[in-house]
Amino acid sequence: MSDHIPGRGGGDIHDAVTAAASDEADVLQAAFPGGDIQDAVSVATEMVSPAPAAVPAVAGPGADVSDAQPTRRRRIALLTVAGVCVLSVAAVTAVAVVAARKPADMPPGLVATFTNPGASGTDAVAFSPDGKTLATGGSSTYLWDVASGRHIRTLTDPMGTVGEVDAVAFGPGGKTLAATASNGGTYLWDVTSGQRAGALAKPGSDGLYAAAAVAFRPGAGTLAVGYGDGSTYLWDATTRQRITTLANPASAGVSAVAFSPDGKTLAVGDDVGSTDLRDGATGRRIATLNDTPGAFGSAGGVAFSPDGKTLAVGDINGSTYLWDVATGRKIATLTAPGAAGVAAVAFSPDGKTLAAGDSAGRVYLWDVATGHRIVTFTDPSTNGVYSVTFAPDGHKLAVGDASGSTYLWDVS
């Protein structure tokens, strides 16, 4: 039987949950008789992520940023409409702590907690290739020393143009960090100096949408960026020039992107539950993976196995699907009892374990070969999971949540 590791409750968090309970009724009332799904999404999005102060768009002065909202928060809001109201508590329970915490009464297996200084959820987490630095994205991008838990620096544009950070990715060698933002920009940072090395701006003529996902192509200077309008741009990270634009036939917002380890295949997940497999160099569509064509869904996260043969796709319906990349055939469906929408997935470096984080604050570790659930970690602050990633050595798992905390679990 699988081991369940509980989180902690009570105290101020319990009070916050009680106070937020009345807000949940507002979301559900908007979603059902007398309202529609769009109304509910709007209400839930406000609850999960209060509207930030207006920031200049990367496309230039005067650009309209009305459509450039953090898309990950919008997808999580959809889960709230479906009945997973845990995330409505996130804004109430967020705590601003700069240093990593190591309380004596932390749950078994929890090594440390990193909490973003800004009052925002941790939308993205990424380890540097050497595993020494952890990057977390929220209201800004934060760098942490993994060994000591020390907050190294905050990557913030002096002009305040970055906006909410939806995704982060280290480049080859770990010297550059890419961070996508709700204002449609993708910012390249020098990890050593903390200085901004450049920005990739989506042309204003293409419409201003949030840059929701990012991935570096292994062995090449190419960067894939997915946007809220359904387009994916391939950029030359060195020249900052756009190579090509990949359109989504369903015109659905891009929720996740990932390159295979050999860089030959690009996976692009969208907000209606489809995942396109494309040629990593040219962007040519190879296949489209969809477990239930035409059904309402969202690819909460996509990840290739280390050998590149399997693709994991998390879904809003609470399942994680494993696909054979070569044939496009579904291999397995991983669903835990009472599972909520899966917002993030990640393979361990040896490919034997898959982590899947859901909107109810749980992270499931699955045995890839057997499909059996190994263990369940529960978010100590009972907030929904936004992001997961394994350390390069496979011994630790970083989990970012709606409160702005990132939990480091020992999975060795």
Q: Is 70 domain-assigned?
A: no
pLDDT, the chain, mean: 77
State residue 317's pLDDT score.
Answer: 85
User: Is residue 129 packed enough to be buried (19+ CB in 10 Å), middle (13-18) or exposed (0-12)?
Assistant: middle
Q: What is the pLDDT of residues 236-294, one digit of tens each?
A: 988 999 999 998 776 688 999 999 999 999 999 998 888 999 999 999 999 999 865 54
Q: Is 72 domain-assigned?
A: no
State residue 205's pLDDT score.
Answer: 57
Query: Given pLDDT bands bounded at 50, 70 and 90, which one contains residue 9?
Result: very low
Does residue 20 surpass a pLDDT of 50? no
The region of weakest confidence among 29-38, 76-85, 86-95, 218-227 is 86-95
The mean pLDDT of 30-48, rounded to a whole number, is 39
Amino acid found at 169: A
Quickly count helices (H) and strands (E) in the chain: 4, 29
Q: Is 399 domain-assigned?
A: yes
State residue 308's pLDDT score.
Answer: 97
Residue 77's φ and ψ, nearest 5 degrees, are: -60, -35
CA distance 119 to 298: 26
The mean pLDDT of 28-33, rounded to a whole number, is 35
CA distance 392 to 173: 13
pTM greater than 0.85 (yes/no): no
Question: Domain range spanning residue 271?
Answer: 110-410
State residue 379's pLDDT score.
Answer: 85
CATH of residue 159: 2.130.10.10
Query: Given pLDDT bands bounded at 50, 70 and 90, which one contains residue 70?
Result: very low
What percent of the chain has pLDDT above 70? 69
More confident residue, 137 or 292: 137
Amino acid found at 303: A
More confident residue, 104 or 54: 104
Q: Is 367 domain-assigned?
A: yes
The mean pLDDT of 345-369, rounded to a whole number, is 96
Q: Is 6 domain-assigned?
A: no
Q: At what angle do helices 37-48 and 11-31 cross, to 10 degrees?
A: 160
Q: Is 246 domain-assigned?
A: yes
Q: Is 35 domain-assigned?
A: no
More confident residue, 257 or 21: 257
Residue 204's φ and ψ, nearest 5 degrees, are: -60, -30
Does residue 200 surpass a pLDDT of 80? yes
Q: What is the pLDDT of residues 380-392, one digit of tens each?
A: 877 899 999 999 9
State residue 234's pLDDT score.
Answer: 96
Q: Which residues contact 89 (CB under 8 A, 6 or more apart)?
A: 16, 17, 20, 382, 383, 402
Does residue 208 surpass a pLDDT of 90? no
State residue 338's pLDDT score.
Answer: 78
Nearest residue to 86 via CA among 3, 180, 7, 2: 7
User: Is residue 298 packed enough to be buried (19+ CB in 10 Å), middle (13-18) or exposed (0-12)?
Assistant: buried
Nearest residue to 283 via CA among 203, 194, 217, 331: 217
Count Cβ atoms below 10 Å from residue 352 Cβ, excluding itself: 15
Q: Is 309 domain-assigned?
A: yes
The region of weakest confidence among 33-42, 124-133, 257-266 is 33-42
Q: What is the pLDDT of residues 100-111, one digit of tens each?
A: 544 455 677 899
Q: How many domains in the chain?
A: 1
